[in-house]
Amino acid sequence: MKVLLTLNEASKKYEGREILTDVSLTISQGDCIIIRGNNGSGKSTMLRMVSGLIPLTSGQRLLEHTNLVIGYTPDRLSKLRMTSTEYLTHMGRISGMTRKELKERIRELHDLFCLEQSDQLKMSHFSKGMLQKTNVMQAMIKTPDLLVLDEPFSGLDKESTGHLLHSLKKIKDEGTSILAAVHDPLLASQLESNTYWIHQGRLSKESMHTSSEKKVVYFELEGSIDLDVVDYLLDFYPDITYKRSQIGYMLITFMYKDYSSFLPEFINKGGEIVSLTRKELGS
């Protein structure tokens, strides 16, 4: 496959502190690459380096051609007082697109992400799922060769996560390369991808499908709790996902590492547990 972009021994320092050290990565057409690591490990810094938003302290960033289109989504999008159409039109005009091109492209993107194109509903009233869809849409306003996503699933319920996963798979099938920081191993496993880890500032490759990989343990909790409390919990446990079960209870998925702190917090906030199931992913 055609190589689009290469990082060659790229390093980044902030105020004398080395965040990333000698990072080398090649991204080819059609690739889907997942970057994982602990909070503060340098994932967002690496995505901004790849996107060309920040300079390297040392090393090289090489593009296949100068007209390479890279779409970038930050980890969150502000609730702006404009419609999604107005916002996407503004972003498209910045990219040099004509109004005629934009009208058709904005309609295509709303259809792709199953987001209603409203002339009245402002982004200030959007749900987290609607905002995240718009966030990815602005990165795709000019069809990108490479789509760079910083925690695209953070804070989404299961339904919104499923819709976004479906859209990303379709984008990949159409030839766009994807580079994404994804914290949740359950979601990372659902994208056909190569996974890299950042640890102590260095990037290393690790297959998600090797027999030596440890099992990922998580829990599914079925119970009742106020939706506003779920939003509150998401600020402290960004890995959790949730949806309504068929019998009306809330079905919440959370990771093993959060078990000892999440359950007391859930109960203290008025949550009632109907069932709790331990599950595993991996070999």
In angstroms, the CA 88 to CA 74 distance is 15
Kindly provide the b/e burial profile for residues 98-125, where b requires at least 16 CB atoms within 10 angstroms of the residue's own CB.
eeeebeebbeebbebbebeeeeeeebee
SS3 138: helix
Q: Looking at residue 187, what is its pLDDT? A: 67
Torsion angle, alpha carbons of 205, 160, 170, 81, to 10 = -100
pLDDT band at residue 113, thresholds of 50, 70 and 90? confident
What is the share, in percent, of the chain residues with pLDDT greater than 70?
94
Does the structure show a pLDDT above 60 at 213?
A: no
pLDDT band at residue 208, thresholds of 50, 70 and 90? very low
Q: Looking at residue 215, what is its pLDDT? A: 64
Q: What does pTM read for this prediction?
A: 0.72
In angstroms, the CA 240 to CA 238 distance is 6
Does the structure show a pLDDT above 90 at 134?
A: yes
How do beta strands 3-14 and 70-73 pair?
Answer: unpaired
Q: What are the percentages of helix, strand and coil residues in the chain, rounded to 5?
A: 35, 30, 35
Nearest partner of 238 among 223, 253, 251, 226, judged by Cα = 253
In angstroms, the CA 135 to CA 107 distance is 15
Domains delineated in the chain: 3-205 (3.40.50.300), 216-281 (3.30.70.1150)
Q: In what order do the strands lie in the sheet with 58-63?
A: 17-28, 3-14, 58-63
Does the structure show a pLDDT above 90 at 241?
A: no
Does the structure show a pLDDT above 60 at 207?
A: no
